[in-house]
């Protein structure tokens, strides 16, 4: 995600942040909407999900996972073979190269196991900070916070954080989100952004945390 112009919004107070996350936790089931069974499935799915919807990824992986269950399966399939399964997904050519590359790296450098540190994960082709945070959170149960477009938008829109980059938003949220909600914070925000606080037409009239939102014109999008 590139730098964006952010119009500063009045910051939420600590009490407002506590209340907002308490409300999120009361009605949002904090689960990834990507389908996966094994840790390798999740890594592949998250790489595929960059600039693509979870729905599109899930549709593609139904057939892909009938033939690819291990790193050896992907390596044997190769880039060209993999492209046939994921060509409906944006950037499929570069994603195919990354997935074959990361499977080789996992097999050769990490004893065919998904590594559990940020540094190791980000050494894999196609895995940046956001993807590493998702893997650490979902597979290894670490309280990391992955900032995608939804999290970035909502944090700046509500007054949870004011920053021009995903890294900046992450740094602020890690400091501000109450510890008891950190484990699931990025899922709360992603799902809130996907279904309620939408980019163009936020559904403020039915939003359960509207009273904790400082966006000045709640009928408009950022």
From 180, 154, 182, 149, select the one nearest 166 (Cα to Cα): 149
Per-residue DSSP letter, 11? P
Which residue is catalytic, options 59, 63, 95, 130? Answer: 130
* Ranges assigned E (strand) in the chain: none
Active-site choice (3, 95, 148, 208): 148
Catalytic annotation on 97?
no
Distances from the Cα of 202 to the Cα of 99, 156, 162, 197, angstroms: 35, 14, 19, 4
130 is known as an active-site residue: yes
CB 146 within 8 A of CB 130: yes
Question: Are 176 and 161 within 8 A, CB to CB?
Answer: yes
Radius of gyration of the chain measured on its C-alpha atoms:
18
Show which residues are catalytic: 130, 148
């Amino acid at each position: 995600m590139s730098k964006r112009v952010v119009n500063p919004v009045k910051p939420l107070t600590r009490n407002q942040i506590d209340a907002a996350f308490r409300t999120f936790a009361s009605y949002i089931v904090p689960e990834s909407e990507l389908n996966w069974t094994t840790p390798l499935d999740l890594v592949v799915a998250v790489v595929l999900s960059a600039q693509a919807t979870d729905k599109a990824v899930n549709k593609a992986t139904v057939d892909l996972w009938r033939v690819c269950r291990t790193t050896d399966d992907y390596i044997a399939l190769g880039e060209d073979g993999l492209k046939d399964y994921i060509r409906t997904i944006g950037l499929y050519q570069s994603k195919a190269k990354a997935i074959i590359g990361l499977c080789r790296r996992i097999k050769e450098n990490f004893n065919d196991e998904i590594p559990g540190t940020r540094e190791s994960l980000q050494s894999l082709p196609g895995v940046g900070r956001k993807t590493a945070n998702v893997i650490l959170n979902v597979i290894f149960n670490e309280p990391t916070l992955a900032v995608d477009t939804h999290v970035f938008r909502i944090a700046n829109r509500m007054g949870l954080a004011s920053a021009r980059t995903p890294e900046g938003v992450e740094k602020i949220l890690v400091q501000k989100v109450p510890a008891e909600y950190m484990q699931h914070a990025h899922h709360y925000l992603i799902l809130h952004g996907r279904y309620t606080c939408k980019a163009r037409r936020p559904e403020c009239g039915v939003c359960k945390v509207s009273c904790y939102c400082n966006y000045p014109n709640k009928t408009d999008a950022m």
